[in-house]
Amino acid sequence: MEIRKAVASDAPEICSVVRASIIELCFADHKGDPQFLAPWLANKTPDHVAHWLANPMNIILVAENGGAVLAAGCVTLSGEIRLNYVAPAARFQGVSSALLAEMEATAARHGNCICTLESTGTAHRFYERRGFHDAAAAAVGKFGLTTYPMSKAL
């Protein structure tokens, strides 16, 4: 597995990984309810991913093996992790952990002392096990879903 900076031609495959991860792995968050799922997926299109890639404030990374994208993540220059999604077939293989570690290292290289993110309920324990702590007294809502603001000192 290799982790590298994403390029424009990765947009369709990043989109596929992100959408599959949300639909299949985050089921406990959306329970298949279109009222919650549709807004969450609305900006997960190749065109939107291409805009994220073109944004100079974003650093989008992919984990790939044999040319196939296994996971995608985005960290901003200010240290906010905005994406960390793994293909369902690559779950529990250390891919997300490796990608997260590289996003943290990238944030540190850009002068950040802290990383922040909003976790789904599905990923909350994943982030806790990697040193993130709840950054708010209560969960908040996003797309009608419960999310957890979290942070980690780098």
Whether 80 is covered by a domain: the verdict is yes
pTM of this prediction exceeds 0.85: yes
Flag whether 90 is in a domain.
yes
If pLDDT is split at 50, 70 and 90, which confidence band does 136 have?
A: confident
pLDDT reading at 143 higher than 70: no
In a domain, 82, yes or no: yes
Higher pLDDT, 148 or 80: 80
Rounded percentage of the chain residues whose pLDDT exceeds 70: 95
Asked whether residue 145 is domain-assigned, the answer is no
33-37, 38-42, 54-58, 121-125, range with greatest mean pLDDT: 54-58
Query: Which range of residues forms the domain containing residue 71?
Result: 2-111
For the stretch 82-106, pLDDT in tens is 999 999 999 989 999 999 999 999 9
Phi/psi zone of residue 47: left (φ > 0), alpha (ψ -120 to 50 degrees), beta? alpha
Above 80 in pLDDT, residue 137? no
Residue 139 confidence (pLDDT): 65
C-alpha to C-alpha distance for 74 and 58, rounded to whole angstroms: 6
6 is a domain residue: yes
pLDDT: is 36 or 129 the higher one? 129
Number of domains within the chain: 1
Of 120, 144, 122, give the one whose Cα is nearest residue 25. Answer: 122
Q: Within a domain: residue 27? A: yes
Predicted local confidence at residue 31, as pLDDT:
87
Does residue 118 belong to any structural domain of this protein?
A: no
According to DSSP H, which parts of 21-153 are helical?
27-30, 34-41, 46-54, 95-109, 121-129
Instruction: Give domain status of residue 7, yes or no.
Output: yes
CATH number of the CATH domain containing 63? 3.40.630.30
